[in-house]
Amino acid sequence: MEADSALFAGLTAILAKCGIRKTDSDAATAIRTIVELLFSWLMVWIVGSGPTIMSLSAKTWIFLILSGLATGASWLCYYKALQDGLASVVVPIDKLSLLVSIGFSALVFKERLSNKAALGLGLIVAGTLLMLVKLPA
Task: Confirm whether pTM is higher than 0.95.
Answer: no
pLDDT one-digit tens code per residue, 102-121: 999 999 999 999 999 999 99
Cβ–Cβ under 8 Å, residues 99 and 126: no
Q: For 113, what's the count of Cα atoms within 13 Å in the CB-facing half-sphere?
A: 17
- Say yes or no to pLDDT of 133 above 90: no
Domain range annotation of the chain:
2-95
pLDDT one-digit tens code per residue, 61-79: 999 999 999 999 999 999 9
For 136, which DSSP code? P
- Say yes or no to pLDDT of 1 above 90: no
